[in-house]
Amino acid sequence: MVARNLKNVDLETLVSLSKRRGFVFQSSEIYGGLSSVWDYGPVGVELKRNVKDLWWKSMVRDRDDVVGIDAAILMHPDVWVASGHVSNFSDPLVECSSCHRRFREDQLESDKCPECGGELGEPRQFNLMFETHIGPVQSAENVIYLRPETAQAMFVNFQNVQTTTRKKLPFGIAQQGKSFRNEITPGNFTFRTREFEQMEMEYFCKPGEDDKWHRYWIDFSMDWYKRYGLRSEKLKLREHSADELPHYSKASADIDFEFPWGWGELETISNRTDFDLKAHMERSGKDLSYFDQESNERFVPFVVEPAMGADRSALAFLADAYDEEGEGKDLRVVLRFHPDIAPFQVAVLPLSRNDKLVPKAREVYDTLRPVFNTQYDDAQGIGRRYRRQDEIGTPLCVTVDFETVDSDDAVTIRNRDTMEQVRVPVSGLVAAVSDQIAAMRTAARE
């Protein structure tokens, strides 16, 4: 077992590593950047895609009681009236009378401006939904919203999905996609942004079975983070008190992670009762009830919802993976990602850009690529390339040297965590890499 992450990373270090290695760039940087909006680079996109794909696999593909949808971001404006977002989806905003900066009142520690110490005005409710107009006429009748959550598409499609799949309760509908909130005080890198990606699942069940399923999905989610390597001591379950509960919820629990600046929410698992389906039945006039053949009864299902942020989870995996060894010019920064979360699983590195080595290294690369997410790198010296792979958390590096082409047709596999190097024949490389990845998977859970 490898000692992990003795170093608690600060946010500045993570932001600078992210930029240096192509995880995350500031949006529109050449124009001075757009505040609190971020772009994933070539390495970050692989990390986030792994997070999304692993969630989709465990939530949808590995189960026969959950199906997926991919709904449009733009929805009928009545959806947001029925859901309560038009009237309730707001935060208390206060403005400083001296510097005119704006803050969320519920996040302030004193009644003075945190920037200049000035007096703060009276709070007013600020709706977080982004508005736009649909069609060529910009009138009040054409106002629509960028969705602030993905969940509502599952409620309004409940009947479509149920009748086309013939699913019986309990069953869930999952979706991943962009959501938008005009947050008053975004910040902490990709933790709170105005455009972000959610992964949500609505699990429809019989009233009376909702408490059982709420517990089930809390345990499922907690286990999911641990399965992919987040350490238990960095995760905490926090049940909401009655006065914290959103208007639609009977019970909610947050899974919090200890980010570099402190504890923050990764996910909320809520018991949304029959609130949403009933609200849409009333507003649309359509029947969204369910006929249960077993009991011969018709009722409106209850809903339990695990709601997770893809960006926040990717940031948690990044922060938790960060480790340092040595000091000064011997400093080794290494991201100890779980091998399925790591942006790339293997890197193929010819010892140099020699004419003899490169074709062989490309051949080795072509052998590995169909099986693993593999990177080929022949820029700069081998030492620098090892460092680069450590900094993006690649579990294994495969080096092609002169012996490979001159004598043994074998390559060296270097393990990111044990630093062991083993020589294996090219003919057995895929099997050897698979074995090492499997061992790292097991170690990540220990």
The stretch near ligand ATP (CB under 6 A) out of 106-114, 131-139, 190-198, 327-335 is 190-198
The stretch near ligand ATP (CB under 6 A) out of 24-32, 233-241, 307-315, 323-331 is 307-315
Do residues 71 and 179 touch, judged by C-beta distance below 8 A? no
Rule CB under 6 A: say whether 319 interacts with ligand ATP: no
Rule CB under 6 A: say whether 267 interacts with ligand ATP: yes
Distances 288 to 64, 161, 301 between C-alpha atoms, Å: 22, 11, 9
User: Closer to ligand ATP at the Cβ: 200 or 391?
Assistant: 200
- C-alpha 59/C-alpha 280 separation (Å) is 26
Rule CB under 6 A: say whether 271 interacts with ligand ATP: no
Q: What are the two backbone dihedrals, phi and then psi, of residue 293, each rounded to the nearest 5 degrees? A: -65, -35
Q: Which of 300, 258, 259, 295 is nearest to 279 (CA)?
A: 300
The CB-of-248 to ligand ATP minimum distance in angstroms stands at: 11
User: Closer to ligand ATP at the Cβ: 131 or 435?
Assistant: 131
- Binder to ligand ATP among 193, 273, 345, 436 (CB under 6 A)? 193
The CB-of-294 to ligand ATP minimum distance in angstroms stands at: 33
Residue indicated by tokens 């339990």: 304
Rule CB under 6 A: say whether 150 interacts with ligand ATP: no
Rule CB under 6 A: say whether 266 interacts with ligand ATP: yes
The stretch near ligand ATP (CB under 6 A) out of 73-81, 136-144, 227-235, 301-309 is 301-309
The stretch near ligand ATP (CB under 6 A) out of 189-197, 201-209, 410-418, 419-427 is 189-197
The stretch near ligand ATP (CB under 6 A) out of 98-106, 225-233, 262-270, 416-424 is 262-270
Contacts 24+ apart (CB under 8 A), 127-130: 127/86, 127/89, 127/90, 127/182, 128/89, 128/90, 128/91, 128/181, 128/182, 128/183, 128/184, 129/80, 129/85, 129/86, 129/89, 129/180, 129/181, 129/182, 130/180, 130/181, 130/182, 130/194
- C-alpha 195/C-alpha 185 separation (Å) is 13
Rule CB under 6 A: say whether 174 interacts with ligand ATP: no
Total number of residues binding ligand ATP (CB under 6 A)? 16
Rule CB under 6 A: say whether 280 interacts with ligand ATP: no
- Binder to ligand ATP among 95, 183, 211, 325 (CB under 6 A)? 183
Burial 238-275 (b: 16+ CB within 10 A, else e): eeeeeeeeeebbbbbbbbbbbbbeeebbbbbbbbbbbb
Rule CB under 6 A: say whether 95 interacts with ligand ATP: no
Residues at the contact surface with ligand ATP, assessed by CB under 6 A: 149, 181, 183, 192-193, 196, 198, 265-268, 307-309, 311-312
